[in-house]
Amino acid sequence: MSDQLWLAVKVRLKDFMKPIKDSSRCLAEIRYETGPGEQAQADWVDFGMQMIDGERTHLYAFVIVLSYSRMRFVRFTTDLRTETFIECHLAAFEYFGGWPKTILYDNTKNVVIKRAIKASESTFNQMFAEFMKHYGIKIRLCKPGIEGAKTKGKVERAAQYVERDFFLGLSLTSLAQLNCDAVAWCCRANGAVHGTTHEIPTDRWPREGLQPFSSLTVYEVTIIDPRKAARDCLVSWRGNHYSLPWRFAGRECKVLVRGERLQIEVAGDLVATHEVLSGSHRVSRQKEHFEGLLKQKLDAHKRTHEKRITAQKVHVPQAPPVEVERRSLSYYEMMVGGAS
C-alpha cells in the first residue's frame, strides 16, 4: 500500500471513529468560580518578533486577571526572565491596589523548575518562591496538558481579548509607549460589562477585599550572578561591562542587581557600585578603580627589566695568579755584559 493511500485510509478511519469516541466521552464542563479575593490567574502571551524601539526583538505580554471581579492587567516585555516576571506582578499589584490569596499558573520555568505529580512536591523557582512568600501568596499549578489549561480559562480568554481587541492592527513605537497604551486599554476594558458575569469589573472590584498594596514594603528584586573579573578590571553582565578596583582583576566575584543599582562583591565584601546600563556593548568605568595601577605596572616592568639585565651580564673568569721570580740586580748587569 502506497503512503498516499495509507494516509487517505487513516483520515477516513479517523472521521469514522470520531462520532464513536465523542459518544463515549463526557463533553460537559464544570465552571469553577472563586470568591472575592481568593484567586488570580496569570500567564505569558507570545507576540513573536516585532519592531520595538527601532530594533527587531521578541515581544511578550504578561496577562493577569482577578478571578472574581475579572479585572485585567497587561504588561509587555522583551524577555521572559524571572525578575521581569516579578516586576510584572508588582506592576499588577499596584494597578489592582493589592493582591489575592492565591495565583494560578501553568508550568512556566518562572514558577516551577520541576513539576511533580503532586503540585506541592514540585521544585519551585527559588527567586519567585521568595517573592510570593514575601506577600503571603500561595502558588497554584495547573495540571499538565490540555485538561490543565482549561483550569485557567479566565486568563486564557483575557489573553485572547488582548490579542484581538488591543494588539491587532496596533502601530508599535516604543515599549514604554506600548505599556502606557496597555494600561489605558485595561481601564477601558475593566469599565465595560463582562460577558460572563454580566457586570462591570470595576464595580465588582471593591468586593475583592485584596490585601492592600501599601501594607508591606515593596519587594526589591535581587539578582545574584557569579562572575569572574577580567584582566582589564571589568566584569561583564548582560552585554555591558562594569569596572572594579584593579587589585581584584582575575578574581571570582558576584554581581548583585537591585532595581537600577548594580553591586560587585568579592569574597563577601562590596567593592564596586554602578548604575545599570541600558542597551549593550557599553562600559561603566570609575576612575578611582584604576588609581595606582600605572605606578604598579611601571614598578613591575622596572623590576623585570633589572632582573633581565642582571641575567645578561658577561662574567669573565679570572686567570690564576702567576708567581714572579725575584732576582738581584747583579744578575741583570751580567746579562747585559756588566760585572761577572
Number of helical H runs and strand E runs in the chain: 9, 16
* φ, ψ (nearest 5 deg) of residue 184: -65, -40
User: Residue 249's CB: how many other CB atoms inside 10 A?
Assistant: 17
3-class DSSP state for residue 288? helix
Reported residue count of the chain is 340
* φ, ψ (nearest 5 deg) of residue 167: -80, -35
User: Residue 244's CB: how many other CB atoms inside 10 A?
Assistant: 24
pLDDT in tens, the chain (340 residues): 556 666 667 767 777 777 777 666 655 555 567 889 999 999 999 999 999 988 899 999 999 999 999 999 999 999 999 999 999 999 999 999 999 999 999 889 999 999 887 877 889 999 999 999 999 999 999 877 666 566 788 999 999 999 999 998 888 889 999 999 999 999 999 999 998 889 999 999 999 999 887 777 778 888 888 999 999 999 999 899 999 999 999 999 999 988 789 999 999 899 999 999 988 889 999 999 999 888 888 888 888 878 888 877 666 677 777 777 777 777 777 777 655 5
Which residues are within 8 A (CB) of 322 and not within 5 positions of it... i.e. 6 or more apart?
Answer: none
3-class DSSP state for residue 131? helix
Distance between CA atoms of residues 111 and 126, nearest Å: 8
Q: What is the pTM of this model?
A: 0.69
> What structural domains and CATH numbers belong to the chain?
39-215 (3.30.420.10), 222-290 (no CATH)
